[in-house]
Amino acid sequence: MRRLGSVQQKIPCVFVTEVKEEPSRKRDRQQFQVVATENVNPVALEADIDCALPTEKLDGTCCYVTVYKGQPYLWARLDRKANKQAEKRFKKYQHSHRSCKGFTWNVEEDFKPVPETWIPAHRVKHHGGHPVPDEHGHIPGWVPVEQDNKQYCWHSSVVDHEAGMALVLRPSAEDEDLLEIAVVPLSDLMEQTLELVGTNINGNPYGLGSKKQPVHFLVSHGSVRIRTPPPVDLHQLCSWFQESPEGRVEGIVWHCNDGTLIKVHRHHLGLRWPEQETYFGERPVVIRVGGTAEEHNNRKDLFTSFSRINGHCFSRIQDIQLDV
């Protein structure tokens, strides 16, 4: 199987985009909308988009597995952002020039502090020894998910660093229509990026769990394939998102043979998200989390809860109940 791309940077749209002077559907308080034109992005053509692997763009938060304190570790996405003064200057420039090209940052003074453990994402450009912001004014990066950091409690719920394990949703090896939630060694996920989805992430578009029994898991980027993708054509993609059951997704990410990632988001096409019924939320899933409560030291955590329903099959992901 080909090595799938890692989400370390903002992914370009499959179409050339333009800015419209109307409130953004995606970002509150943004008074412009980035929309797709009919022209395919030259980056996509150069990466041979027609031979790429189309996968579902999941709506969660991005994570990364790499070494920390000498062992495989889960890291949370933390982009270094400009302070208020610098952001105001940047937005003013962006609005008057309708572009951010030519804007000059003072990297040492313009950005909010980040934890000492923060690392910049791969392929972030550096100047004078400092990481340089992208065209959005962010410096993409990562922080390790440490157990005592309440800000990342939902990240912590899907990983056991002592045991070196993570809760991962993936396609079943026996039946590609079936998904499974399994315990996977972090060492098997090294240098991969994954999406954390669940009850308390991004407004829970997939209807997972409940306040009383939250459900979260990781999904490796590129692992959820789109079976019947439309051609890379603006009108055919619009129709697919609106008419195909498989099109009830946030977007598509194409994994190209050269490692390039290309995406399209519903918002690029002027379409609503989330949908009332999502394709992902309605897929069947089986729980394959072995072990017993004793093996998990009688902890009341997600690993234990899933182990108690090991072998149980749910007709829809959104129907997962931890106390069946």
Alpha-carbon dihedral sign for residues 67, 70, 76, 82: negative
Q: What is the mean pLDDT of the chain?
A: 90
Rg (CA), the chain: 20
| Residue that finishes a domain, picked among 95, 123, 139 | 139
For 41, what's the count of Cα atoms within 13 Å in the CB-facing half-sphere? Answer: 20
**Helices in the chain by DSSP H: which ranges?**
42-46, 84-97, 107-110, 153-156, 234-243, 302-308
> Of all residues in the chain, what percent carry a pLDDT higher than 70?
91
Within a domain: residue 209?
Answer: yes
For residue 8, being part of any structural domain is answered with no
Look at residue 99 and tell me if it is in a domain.
Answer: yes
Same domain membership, residue 190 and residue 206:
yes
Residues 69 and 94 both lie in one domain = no
Final residue before a domain boundary, out of 111, 139, 167: 139
- In this structure, the answer to whether residues 85 and 217 fall within a common structural domain is no
- Residues 41, 120, 201, CA angle at the centre, nearest 5°? 75
**Judgement on whether residues 191 and 98 belong to the same structural domain of the protein:** no
- pLDDT value of residue 293: 46
Distances, alpha carbon 287 to alpha carbons 30, 179, 182, 184, in Å: 41, 9, 7, 13
SS3 270: coil
pLDDT higher than 80, residue 8: no
How far apart (Å, rounded) are the C-alpha atoms in residues 267 and 259? Answer: 24
Amino acid at 177: D
Is 240 a domain residue?
no
At CA 152, angle to CA 279 and CA 29, rounded to 5?
A: 65
Whether 219 and 168 map to the same domain: the answer is: yes
End-of-domain residue from the set 139, 158, 182:
139
Residue 101 falls inside a structural domain: yes
pLDDT of 26: 59
- Whether residues 128 and 183 share a domain: the answer is no
* 85 in any annotated domain: yes
Band the pLDDT of 263: cuts 50, 70, 90: very high
Are 184 and 309 in the same domain? Answer: yes
Q: Are 199 and 208 a contacting pair, CB within 8 Å?
A: yes
- Whether 307 maps to a domain, the answer reads yes
pLDDT at 1: 39
Same domain? For 70 and 118 the reply is no
Q: What is the residue range of 99's domain?
A: 80-139
Domain total of the chain: 2
Same domain, 155 and 215: yes
Residue 184 included in any domain: yes
Copy the structure tokens of residue 9: 């940077």
> Rounded to two decimals, what is the model's pTM?
0.91
Shared domain for 93 and 165, answered yes or no, is no
pLDDT in tens, 187-231: 999 999 999 999 999 999 999 999 999 999 999 999 999 999 999
Q: Is the pLDDT of residue 242 over 90?
A: yes
Same domain? 317 vs 205: yes
d(CA 258, CA 102): 30
DSSP string, 164-197: TEEEEEEE-SS-TT-EEEEEEEGGGGTT-EEEEE
* Domain co-membership, 84 together with 74: no
